[in-house]
Structure 1
């Protein structure tokens, strides 16, 4: 009877160990689906004089074609380490709510200028550029520049009104300027203060947040 209990106990422990290991292996397998690199940018993001790397990878197995942003920072040993990752800042190419149809936008482009990571994205009737700055282990959204236009005839002509929005999240100053194509001064300027504290971190920004700015 003691031997039976002993073997039952060992079998029970084996089950407890094998189940989470199976779940873990599945989790790792799922995370590795983002294998196709569609964007890559290199530059110094944390002002240490070393080259860092930004990549955008696509999951080609999932029918929606989701995209993952990853930022790798250089380490003293010369090997890059993953600093942050996001699966929600870029819209899938074929969103489930579109019933399998293409979302109509190209994959965002990334630039590194003076230590600032810029993400340029197409949006309906224009484009938006997010500016992220590295601060104490996080990439914080510090500035948003958005350009939209209202083409009443369905195409851009001399009557099309362009609206440029500049939002400095550090000062809280948000400025909207309306102007026509070729005009030397704006038709209207609207300015207000909008404070967002704490500053949004890149891993918390969603592609749908374009409407917030």
Structure 2
């Protein structure tokens, strides 16, 4: 793997995942509760694995398999619940300082997230981070097939910036981030804050791996 700081210095644009690196979206409004609320919109036909899941996106994927109307209803409600969730949480440790440093050093920061664009925008505004984030490339439709690990959100960010993938780096804490970056031709930095994540993400061979977002600060 390349050194994370050396990799960052080679790039102009940083793509940053939202849930995890910027804030723990469902820290106060548990993901299981959100998933359970969404399940009520598509009952009684839930498969056993979806019924047991605590992941709201599993419910969205199932809804999409039922047709566009079901997907639309579930995605709209998911967006509302994400908005409630992010209103209750604070920025992740160190993210404010990192974003401000990146901005001061001339990097263009884009939030690239499977969460709704409205929830991301609301959180950034609430915590006065919008000035440090140039763009948001996040969920705007009810089609889960276009979310990470699909590269569509990264491709859209590259296009909006008028740049090329080789000038960008994706920083995220999930396998979906690493896989989406690879599919988009973008370098990846895996943020692995626990031993389990380090094992999982290292196995995907990201371009670099760090254990804390602060490891990507470049100022002396």
TM over 0.5: no
Greater strand percent: which structure? Answer: 1
Q: Which has the higher contact order (CA 8 A, sep 6+)?
A: 2
TM tier relative to shorter chain: under 0.3
In the superposition, the TM-score normalised over structure 2's length comes to 0.25
In the superposition, the TM-score normalised over structure 1's length comes to 0.26
Q: Rg bigger for which structure?
A: 1
Greater helix percent: which structure? Answer: 2
